[in-house]
Amino acid sequence: MKKALKIIGIVLACLVGVVLIVVGIAVGMLTSSGRLTKMVKKYAPEFITCEMSLGKADLTLFKTFPDVGVDIENVALINPMAGSPSDTLANIDDLTVVLDLKKLLKEKEIVVRKCILEDAFVNLYMDTLGQNNFSVFKTKEDSDTTKTFDYLIDIEEVKLKNADLIYTDDRNQMTAQSRGLNLDLKGKMQDKDIDADLTLNATGLTLYMKAIQLAMKTLSLDFDGQIVQLDQIDGLLKLATPDISLNLDEQYLENDTLSLNLPVHFSLKDKKGHLDKAQIGLNQYLIDVSGDVEIAENHDVNLDLALNTSTLMIEDVLTYLPEKQLKRLRGVELWGKVTLSDVAVKGTYNDSLMPLISGKVMTDDMKVKVPQLPYLFTEVDLDGHLDLDFNSNANSLTVNSISAKYNRSNFTADGLIDDLRGDIGLKLKVKGDVPMADIKYFLPKKVKLNGRTNLDLTTNFTYEQLKKSLDDYNLNRLSAKANLKIRDFSFDLDTIHAAAPLLNVGLTLPASAKQKGQKGAYITLTTNKMDANVGKSIKADLKNPDIKLAADSFKGGIEKMLLNADLKFSQLDLDYDSVTAHIDASAFTFVTTPEKNAKGLNASIALDGKDVVAKMGKGYALNTNSLKVNAAINQNKTKNDFLNRWNPSADFVLGNAVVKVDGIREDIHISNIDFLFNSHELDFKKSTFRIGQSDLSLQGSVVGIKEWLEDHKNLMKGEMEVSSNMMNINEILDLTSGLGHSDAEPVEATVAENKEDDPFMVPEGVNFNFVLNTKRAVYDNFDMNDLNGTMTVKDGTLLLREIGFTNKAAEMQLTAMYQSPRKNNLFLAMDFHLIRVQINDLLTMIPYIDTLVPMLKTFDGQAEFHIGAEANLKSNYEPKISTLRAAADIEGKNLTVNDRFTFTKITDLLDISTNGSYRVDSLDVQLTAFKDEIYLWPSQIAMGKYKVTVDGRMTLDRNGEYHLSVTQSPLPVRLGLKISGPFNKLEYKLEDCKYPNLYKPNKRNDREQMYYELKKKIADRLKANVR
Amino acid sequence: MKKLLHIFLCLVVVLSFCACRDDSEVNFNTSFLYGKWQEGTVYERYYDTLIERVLPNGDTVKVNGTTWDVGDDVNEDEAQLFNWTLTGPTLKHEHVGTFVVIPKLYSVDMLTSQTLVYTDDFGTTHHFSKVE
């Protein structure tokens, strides 16, 4: 505005100069043309200081009728100046000046009434020092007293026709150029008062000033008003151009239509102005402007304006924004109606400052497309207040209220959107009704959500932060809080599925705002009921779960996710494969520890469970009051088998538990178990439990589990210490039956075993050493005290190695071996030594001895008993008689005879005198069992003065054939006795003595010698393992 | 008369001794024994050399005979071990167990390339036919 006024002033000054020239011309107006021309040239230097050339001067009536005018042709003012685009100040083809003839003639006073310039070129120039080329007119003060005329400019009308005007101001770096300028200024100018009615049009106007480039085509301007004392301008200025372009560093207007209707009140002296209900029309839109403008001494423009707009179409408004401003929208597209009202433009405008702009913004049915989002925001109705400070980042939009739809979601919000020209900050409180499908885009692809939520969201982050976080799922940049009430919720991630009828979700970003040191999102989940699945195998049903979790790094699925989850619930029902579990009031912690090169999920799991009831198939059941598990998994997705795929490790602490195992009659009562399990090791740190009659304390470790499970080629090794006050070995064996056996039977099996038989199958590929220390143990009818020794389970063989123990009947040592190469061909072997055994007790303990040695029950007393036996067993443990091999060595002294009737009968038949004594002095027998035959090797029994050698054979059907030879007797006769037949109906028959010299080394024949040696061989082999 | 009776008894005794076969003088061709013999479901295999076998307790033993009874669902590779000797008509089996040795004495009645008959001390006779 300042510059425009300046231009007008300059133009007026030029006109004044021209008028002064005309004054001179008017002096000679009564003279002829030639004379008039001479007069003009003569007097012109009195008014003009620069070089000047004038053409022909004539009086004219036609142009100025009814007044008389002077028409001067080819007026040229030459005033060269360094920097000026031209040395010509003005070049006017035709200058017509209308004078007040009456004043001139009567009062010798020159009064100019009109001035008309046609086809003029005016070049105005001001250099950087403020010197110009148009100060070429002498003022009254400058004129000397010798001047011929006094003059007064009282112009009623000034016209410019087809003028080209150039103004160059190097001091202000401004260039203005107008082409085809037609100006009609009517009014009265007297001294410093101008009563003006200005009509101006031009074919073109350009203005270049520093960063401002203004161009208008076909400009039309009207001003009707007053300029009082060349100071106060009051009037109405109208401007219209159909084609205006404006560039203020950036292109704001381009080929737009502009109209101004400005009621102007401006003081040139004070440089203050006031607009009252001014109206700016830009294309089809109108802007009402009122307010004050002040130009300070330092050329600052101070504005205090109020604006209101008509309803604007946003898409049109955006076209007025320069490219640079549009880029700030970051691709956001907007459509719809916007109204700006109560807009205030306040502040200083200068090279470095822009005024503050504030105002009310309302949108109606606006649509917004954000490039990163799949759906439009529609029906966006905003009631906001805009505050723009282009001098700083304090540009904000206060959202009083906004409502919008996003696909099938409805949102309302209020709050603040700040830093509009920078990284837009979103400090909003958002409420919404959102189908979970609509936020799918914000989640990793692997995550699927369903349900519909009431959303209550508070945000405090920037647009860039949001955009980056959506790109890389790093939520640590964001600050937000959200509460969601999700109905019919379901969640899927990889193989994890969770669902709840109503889920309350609390979200805090970043998690550190809730828990120090946490990253990502902090999420709380509460619901009355939640069902969860992991794959097809794990199903969980939770009641009243309360989940608190911090999650970060969502992009790579759960394997890459940093997850720290705490889960509390009142009840959990878990179903995994054939395992079901019911847990009450427990806490569960799940923490992922992703690693860069991990091949799957790395996580640690902690469970503090109370009242756990678990079942594995129909075979196993666990009931415990306390279960604590600290576990870790290290998944390797390239592996298929369980241990290699998950590499689990877990520390189990179990207290007050009962385990039921199908096939084991007795429950396992666990007082406490603390064991560590991983792929390589099972470490029983502490465990005490009771199985039926057995109480056990177990400590030790098992290694090589993974390798054993993989291919059974490597041994699984265990070193365990088992101590017990009471142990029932049968129950213990039931516990470990069948480990490690494949289901396939060898093809050699030709006889199908009873399908119901489930013999104890010794684990293969394992090497377990159990160091036993048991105060009392029971095995079948065996009752053992101070049982010590080693039990080894090694690669298909169960070996009780030199187990030493005592009982009421004897001191005993047992080595036993059990193998189960296949179910219907088991193998049992034993090496049993009873020292100082009471025969009756022995028969009570091991009734099978009576089958092997029926004659033994005839005696009682202390004996030494060694027996070795082996047999293959059927699947029901029944011996395969064809495989039975056994041998026994019995030595006794001073034995009493129980079966006195039989004893008496035998002694009577053999003519042995016992003198009423039912005693045997010594007994030394060897027996062998082969298949169904038990062979009593010729053995000697001493009774006083008699010695009897007895041999024989019996079969398992309790038929026998025995021979007794009296080998030493006071009598000369050596009788033999044959006893044969069923045991319940024996026949006695005297016969020859069969072994008269077996115990007489010097008299043995070859066969007796062979028998003797074989007996010794049998006995030696049996006693070889006695400790 | 008494003298005649004594003489008669002496003759009977002498003749009886004379009628007795001297077992040590009966020899069978041992090579006929080598091979696999069957009696019903019972098999015996006689080797001409000692073979090494491992007992269930892990001990390695050398034996020259095995026996098994398929009627009890025992196959040859699950057979039990024995050492045998044939001295005159006396066939001795020493069955080798994990903790025991079980001798058995038989008297061979017939041994041909296809037939093996032996009897134990209690008169139980076994008839085997060679199958391999």
Q: Is residue B12 part of a domain?
A: no
Sign for the pseudo-dihedral over CA of A737, A739, A743, A747: negative
Q: Closest CB to B70: pick one of A750, A872, A881.
A: A750
Q: What is the DSSP string of A393-443?
A: S--EEEEEEEEEEETTEEEEEEEEEE-TTSS-EEEEEEEEEEEGGGGGGGS
- Flag if A829 and B78 touch (Cβ within 8 Å): no
B5 lies in some domain: no
Q: What is the pLDDT of residue A609?
A: 82
Number of independent structural domains in chain B: 1
Q: Do B56 and A815 touch (CB under 8 A)?
A: no
CB A456 within 8 A of CB A484: yes
Report CB contact under 8 Å: B56, A1017. no
Q: Is residue B85 part of a domain?
A: yes
Rounded to 5°, the CA angle A18-A19-A21 comes to 65
Question: B100–A887: do the CB atoms touch at under 8 Å?
Answer: yes
pLDDT the model gives residue B62: 96
Cross-chain CB nearest to B73 (options A824, A831, A885): A824
Q: Is residue B7 part of a domain?
A: no
Q: What is the predicted pLDDT for the residue at A475?
A: 80
Query: From the list B57, B75, B77, which residue is nearest A817 (CB)?
Result: B57
C-alpha distances (whole Å) from A580 to each of A430, A533, A586, A631, A660 are: 43, 13, 16, 19, 14
Residues of chain A neighbouring B121 (CB-CB closer than 8 A): 953
Pairs of CB atoms within 8 A across A/B:
96
Nearest residue of B to residue A747, measured between CA atoms: B75
Looking at residue A54, what is its pLDDT? 85
Q: Is residue B14 part of a domain?
A: no
User: The pTM is what?
Assistant: 0.59
Q: Quick one: which of A843, A944, A936, A856 has its CA closest to A892?
A: A856
- Cross-chain residue pair B97–A824, CB shorter than 8 Å: no
**Residue B72 and residue A961: Cβ atoms within 8 Å?**
no
Q: For A21, which DSSP code?
A: H
Helix (H) or strand (E) holding A901: helix A900-909
Spell out the SS3 assignment of A976-1022: EEEEEEEHHHCEEEEEECCCCCCCCCCCCCHHHHHHHHHHHHHHHHH
Residues of A in contact with B40 (CB under 8 A): none
- Domains of chain A, by residue range, sit at 1-172, 824-1023
Point out the residues of chain A with pLDDT beneath 70: 1-33, 35, 66, 101, 104-105, 108-110, 138-155, 188-192, 554-559, 663-664, 709-713, 733-756, 781-782, 809
Q: Cβ atoms within 10 A of the Cβ of A133, count? A: 25
**B9 in any annotated domain:** no
Residue B122 has phi, psi (to 5 degrees) of: -105, 10
Distance CA A834, CA A355 (A): 115
Task: Output the pLDDT for position A866.
Answer: 92
**Mean pLDDT of the B102-129 span:** 94
Residue pair B36/B132 in contact (Cβ under 8 Å)? The answer is yes
Q: Which residues from B are below 8 Å from A when comparing CB atoms? A: 42, 56-57, 68-75, 77-78, 80, 92, 94-95, 97-105, 121-122
CB contact under 8 A, A869 and B78: no
Average pLDDT score, chain B = 84
> Which chain A residues are Cβ-neighbours of B78 within 8 angstroms?
748, 821, 825, 872
Residue among A817, A821, A868 whose CB faces B100 most closely: A868
Mutation target among A828, A878, A935, A995 for the B interface, most CBs of B within 10 A: A935
Q: At what angle do helices A33-43 and A2-27 cross, to 10 degrees?
A: 130
Whether B56 maps to a domain, the answer reads yes
Half-sphere exposure of A601 (CA within 13 A, CB side): 20
pLDDT at A827: 93
Q: Which residue in A has a C-alpha nearest to residue B82's C-alpha? A: A885
What CATH number corresponds to the domain at position B83?
2.40.128.280
The contact set of A with B (CB < 8 A) is 748-751, 797, 799, 815, 817, 819, 821, 824-825, 827, 829-831, 868-870, 872, 874, 880-883, 885-887, 928-930, 953, 961, 1010, 1014, 1017-1018, 1021-1022, 1025
Could you tell me what percentage of chain A is helix, strand and coil, using 3-state DSSP and rounding each to the nearest 5?
15, 60, 25
Q: Which residues form the domain of B115?
A: 24-130
Most A-contacting residue of B42, B70, B73, B106 (CB-CB within 10 A), to test interface: B73
pLDDT of residue A742: 44
Among A108, A110, A90, A91, CA closest to A100:
A110
d(CA A677, CA A672): 16
